[in-house]
Structure 1
Amino acid sequence: MTEKLVTYELDEDIALIGLNRPDKRNAINDETNRQLKAALTQAVDEAKCGVIFGHGDNFSAGLDLAEALTWINADPNLRRKRRGHWHPTLDLMARGGIPWVAALKGACIGGGLEIASAAHVRVADETTFFALPEGQRGIFVGGGGSVRIQRLLGYARMADLMLTGRVLTAQEGERNNLCQYVTPKGESLERAKSLAKRISKNAPLTNWAICSALPRVTDQSHEDGLFMETLISNAVSSNRSEEGLKAFVEKRAARLVEPGKSGDEG
């Protein structure tokens, strides 16, 4: 019987996916990748928003290096088949059509940070630490980190982490775009669920545009980006859009809460 390395639960419209190798700090091996891809595929079919988290004390310590040793000098054909095998999995999260919130704690390093960077919102508790130790391991990022993490950090900061083995705290991660929220210890999952429930109430087409179209705009020239914006803006307009605007005009919509006042905005 295959070990359950990834858990899946549907809580109303929210998919909850848990990395489930706590004794290995949720290190990602091939079977975990396969199960994660299946869970993400199911979530896209069933949910309006998703939350990914780690069981135990850590989000993920990244690539399972013990398994990596078994294929690092393997037959060239086998290694060729493995190239980029994380990419289809994490693309299901990054551009699969529904928003994802990552609940982080403890280790969020290497491949773990690559998984987190595929989410659209990241909530770290104060125990979270970020690192990219590939330089010290003699390997290179392989789960899309050279694109996603570099866009969050910028080249200079990412190169620093990879070359020197520098470790960032949760607070440093927030300042450098690795997470958008920092909570007290043990509270990141509940905050992530709360945010996911709020996000799931948005118009689905708008959520799709934010998660799937907006990242592509950054790949384009200024003029092409504006052209795509016009197309997407028209594409997401719907009866839901009309109702949302009418609710605001008629003062039926919830008001934004100013920072520092009551409400869950920070």
Structure 2
Amino acid sequence: MSQTLVTYELDGAVALIGLNRADKRNAINEDVIVQLRDAVMRAGDEADVGVLFGHGGNFSAGLDLREALSRATAQSAPPRKRRRHSWHEVFDIIARGPIPFVAALHGAVVGGGLELATAAHVRVGDATAFFGLPEGQRGIFVGGGGTVRIQRVIGYSVMADLMLTGRLLSAEEGLREHVITYLTPAGEALAKAKELAAKIAQNAPDTNWRITNLLPRVNDLSHEDGLFLEYMSSNMARSPETAKRLQEFVDGTAKPLERPDQPKTPA
């Protein structure tokens, strides 16, 4: 029986997908990618939101360098035909698939682990999380979509710094550089990610799909083409659920928006 390298659990409308190679700091090899793809596809079929997390003390330390060495030294046979990079395929299913994903990050989130994390739409980190791109020190280059995805999150200057110098970002620095959008105390990232996922699952599925699929594509377009695509989207047929939710707002029965905590007025 094959080893369970990726765990899967359905919690209501939320699919919990865990990297389960803790003894290797959840390093990602092809076996992990195969199981991750199966889990992500299953989540798209039966859940409304997915949560990515890592078992053990780290989210993921990135590429399995032993496997990379095997390829670099021709110890493993290359495929007979060129195909799309397996990491690109799976991470794109996460980033632009049928459901949104929230990533719960702790410990090492480096290299391929950071590439996987930035495929998620919302990222929560706890105080133990640190982020880096050590490819420059390993003689390799990012290959899991990082040139596109990470660069769009943190910008060229920060990404180049991480790769050239081997610098690691702390959890607080990761928050500042937009790697994460929520920072929790140690050990609480997964709970916060589940909370956010449950909230996202209450949205209209069609709107969630537009946010995760249409919005990033608009970012790739010119100003005029972006506005045109937005116009086309806004004039597409709406689901019955949209009419129901709009009616609830008009009737005053819709759930009010949650305002951030207001500063207390001095006495």
Please classify the TM superposition score into its range, dividing by the shorter chain length. Answer: over 0.9
The alignment's TM-score, normalised by the length of structure 2, stands at 0.94
The equivalent of 1:130 in structure 2 is 131
Q: Mapping of 1:123-162 within 5 angstroms?
A: 123-162=124-163
Q: Mapping of 1:76-225 within 5 angstroms?
A: 78=78, 81=82, 84-225=85-226
Stretches of structure 1 that go unaligned for 5 or more consecutive residues are none
**CA separation of 1:236 and 1:136: change in aligned 2, threshold 3 A:** farther
Shift of 1:68: 1.1
C-alpha distance in structure 1 between counterparts of 2:75 and 2:58, whole Å: 33
RMSD after superposition: 1.7
- Contact persistence 1:6–1:20 (CA under 8 A): yes
Q: Deviations over 1:184-203 (max 9, x none)?
A: 11111011011111101111
Stretches of structure 2 that go unaligned for 5 or more consecutive residues are none
- Contact persistence 2:102–2:122 (CA under 8 A): yes
Q: Deviations over 1:61-112 (max 9, x none)?
A: 0001011111112279716747622111111100011000000000000000
C-alpha distance in structure 2 between counterparts of 1:50 and 1:83, whole Å: 24
Shift of 1:230: 1.1
The alignment's TM-score, normalised by the length of structure 1, stands at 0.94
| Secondary structure of residue in 1 paired with 2:131 | strand
Shift of 1:261: 4.7
Q: Deviations over 1:128-174 (max 9, x none)?
A: 00000111111111110100000001111110111011111111111
C-alpha distance in structure 1 between counterparts of 2:237 and 2:150, whole Å: 28
Structure 1, 65-74 or 207-216: larger mean CA deviation:
65-74
C-alpha distance in structure 1 between counterparts of 2:59 and 2:117, whole Å: 9
**CA separation of 1:43 and 1:240: change in aligned 2, threshold 3 A:** same
C-alpha distance in structure 2 between counterparts of 1:27 and 1:33, whole Å: 11
Q: Mapping of 1:7-46 within 5 angstroms?
A: 7-46=7-46
| Secondary structure of residue in 1 paired with 2:35 | helix
Stretches of 4+ moved more than 3 A in 1?
Answer: 79-83
- Contact persistence 2:14–2:197 (CA under 8 A): yes
